[in-house]
């Protein structure tokens, strides 16, 4: 992105017009070409030794998630146990990166994960729709942080974005980041609602410019959620942001990723598009729940040479 000539990024967000100029000045994304590239990357096959590494890495990148109206402290506690020790029979399986819960269950999770390396992420800002006043959203964030959340997954105001009120979206991210304090901020773009890859790219940049530590595809409540072309575009954004500023920001794919094969394909994409530095839970996450068990089954298969059934991994 050298031709962007390192604009004064504070200046870019001065008003809707200048933000619009910047975001719409980003190179367009040709949908067919992006889909073709994503499909091409999916044909890579990786070494068995790399595959074992990839499976463990993918496990360590998971934000083990439960975001149901029916969530209870009991459900969250068992999820936390699984997060800390995904395979009770095998201590070599790494812990996941974090558990991800609603704000009111953060305290439960913090308690359950005390003494482990697993972080506590919380969706906040009137997740999943984001349809609340900024005050309410910030209150939501502060609650979660106060309860001990180390990571906040916020949603952007997609309505404002689609209406071209980029400064509003930008300011909300800035305010949320301030409310996070030391907690890491992941900015959910909900690309399924943004509809186009051009918008995915613009929203990615908007979130990066506003200070998001991660850009995240989706809430998991809207279809389509994470798709290979969207992941490609978001990885290109962090790659280009790094080229421009020297800073590395993260990407989180959430929603619909259930199979180890998909996860490994995404790791191939991360490796080839953003680069090897991003093959790290500090810079890449999967927001998932059932993916973990599939990774564990694959891990068993690699270790034993035979396939396991679902009875051999725990439901939570």
Partner 1 sequence: MPTKRPKQTTPKQPAADATRLRVRKTYKLYIGGAFPRSESGRSYPVHSAAGDLLAYVAQASRKDVRDAVVAARKAFAGWSGATAYNRGQVLYRVAEMLDGRRDQFVAQVGQAEMSTAEVAAGEVVSADAARAQVDAAVDRWVYYAGWSDKYAQIVGGTNPVAGPYFSFSLPEPTGVVGVLAPQDSSLLGLVSVLAPVLATGNTAVVIASEDRPLPAISFAEVLATSDLPPGVVNLLTGSTAELAPWLAGHRDVNALDLSGVVVADRKALQIKAAGNVKRVYAPHEPDWFADPGISRLGAFVETKTVWHPIGV
Partner 2 sequence: MSARAKSPVFEYAPAPESREIARLKPSYQIFIDGRFRDGSGDAVKTINPADEQPLAEVAEAGPADVADAVAAARRAYEGPWSAMPGKERGKYLFRIARAIQERGRELAVLESLDNGKPIRESRDVDVPVAAAHFFYYAGWADKLGYGGFGPDPRPVGVAGQIIPWNFPLLMAAWKIAPALACGNTVVLKPAETTPLTALVLAEIIAEAELPAGVVNVLAGGPAIGAAIVEHDDVDKIAFTGSTEVGKIIQRTLAGTSKRLSLELGGKAANIVFDDAPLDQAVEGIVNGIFFNQGQVCCAGSRLLVQESVADELIDSLQRRLATLRVGDPLDKNTDVGAINSAAQLARIRELTESGVAEGATRWSPPCELPERGFWFAPTVFTGVSPAHRIAREEIFGPVLSVLTFRTPAEALEKANNTPYGLSAGVWTEKGSRILSMAAQLRAGVVWANTFNRFDPSAPFGGYKESGFGREGGRHGLEAYLAH
Interacting residues toward partner 2 by CB under 8 A: 1-3, 27-30, 32-34, 36-37, 43-51, 53-54, 56-57, 60-61, 94-95, 97, 117, 119, 236, 267-268, 271-272, 276, 279-282
- Is 221 known to be catalytic? no
Which of partner 2, partner 1, none has residue 310 at its interface (CB below 5 to 8 Å by kind)? none
Residues 126, 127, 133: CA angle, nearest 5 degrees: 20
Catalytic residue among 153, 157, 213, 240: 153
In sequence order, the β-bridge partners of residue 186 are 153, 214
Backbone angle region of 252, left / alpha / beta, with phi > 0 → left and psi within -120 to 50 → alpha: beta
Q: Is 287 left (phi over 0), alpha (psi -120 to 50) or beta?
A: beta
Per-residue DSSP letters for 209-240? HTT-SEEE---SSSSS-S-HHHHHHHHHHHHH
Catalytic residue among 186, 198, 216, 294: 216
By CB under 8 A, is residue 33 in contact with partner 1?
yes
Q: Closest distance between partner 1 and the C-beta of residue 213, in Å?
A: 30
Using CB under 8 A, which of 6, 15, 17, 30 touches partner 1?
30
Any catalytic annotation for residue 186? no
Q: How far apart are CA 166 and CA 179, in angstroms?
A: 20
Residues 193-222: x where in contact with partner 1 by CB under 8 A, - otherwise, as a string? --xx--------------------------
Evaluated on CA atoms 96, 258, 193, 235, the torsion sign reads positive
What whole-number distance in Å separates Cα of residue 157 and Cα of residue 173? 10
> Minimum distance between the CB of residue 33 and partner 1, rounded to whole angstroms?
6
Q: Decide if 175 contacts 213 (C-beta within 8 A).
A: no
Of residues 153 and 236, the one with the C-beta less far from partner 1: 236
Q: Binding to partner 1 by residue 39, rule CB under 8 A?
A: no
Number of residues located near partner 1, criterion CB under 8 A: 7
Where in the sequence numbering do the catalytic residues fall?
Answer: 153, 216, 252
Residues near partner 1 (CB under 8 A) are: 30-33, 35, 195-196
């Amino acid at each position: 992105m050298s031709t962007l000539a390192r604009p004064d990024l504070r200046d870019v967000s001065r008003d809707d017009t200048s933000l619009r100029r910047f975001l719409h000045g980003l190179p367009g994304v040709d949908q067919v070409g992006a889909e073709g590239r994503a499909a091409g990357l999916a044909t890579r096959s990786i070494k068995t030794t790399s595959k074992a590494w990839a499976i463990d890495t993918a496990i360590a990148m998971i934000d083990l998630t439960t975001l149901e109206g029916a969530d209870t402290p009991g459900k969250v506690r068992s999820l936390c146990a699984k997060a800390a020790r995904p395979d009770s029979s095998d201590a070599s399986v790494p812990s996941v990166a974090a558990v991800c819960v609603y704000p009111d269950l953060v305290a439960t999770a913090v308690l359950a994960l005390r003494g482990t390396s697993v972080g506590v992420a919380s969706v906040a800002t009137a997740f999943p729709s984001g349809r609340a006043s900024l005050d309410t959203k910030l209150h939501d964030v502060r609650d979660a942080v106060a309860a001990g959340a180390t990571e906040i997954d916020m949603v952007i105001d997609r309505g404002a974005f689609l209406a071209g009120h980029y400064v509003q979206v930008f300011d909300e991210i800035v305010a949320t980041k301030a409310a996070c304090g030391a907690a890491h901020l992941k900015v959910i773009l909900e690309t399924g609602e943004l509809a186009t890859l051009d918008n995915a790219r613009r929203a990615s940049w908007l979130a990066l410019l506003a200070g998001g530590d991660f850009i995240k595809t989706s809430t998991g409540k809207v279809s389509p959620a994470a798709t290979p072309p969207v992941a490609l575009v978001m990885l290109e954004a962090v790659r280009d942001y790094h080229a421009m500023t020297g800073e590395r920001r993260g990407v989180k794919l959430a929603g619909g990723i259930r199979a180890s094969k998909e996860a490994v394909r995404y790791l191939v994409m991360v490796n080839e598009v953003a680069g090897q530095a991003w093959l790290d839970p500090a810079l890449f996450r999967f927001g998932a729940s059932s993916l973990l068990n599939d990774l564990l089954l694959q891990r068993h298969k690699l270790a034993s040479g035979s396939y396991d059934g679902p009875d051999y991994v725990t439901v939570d």
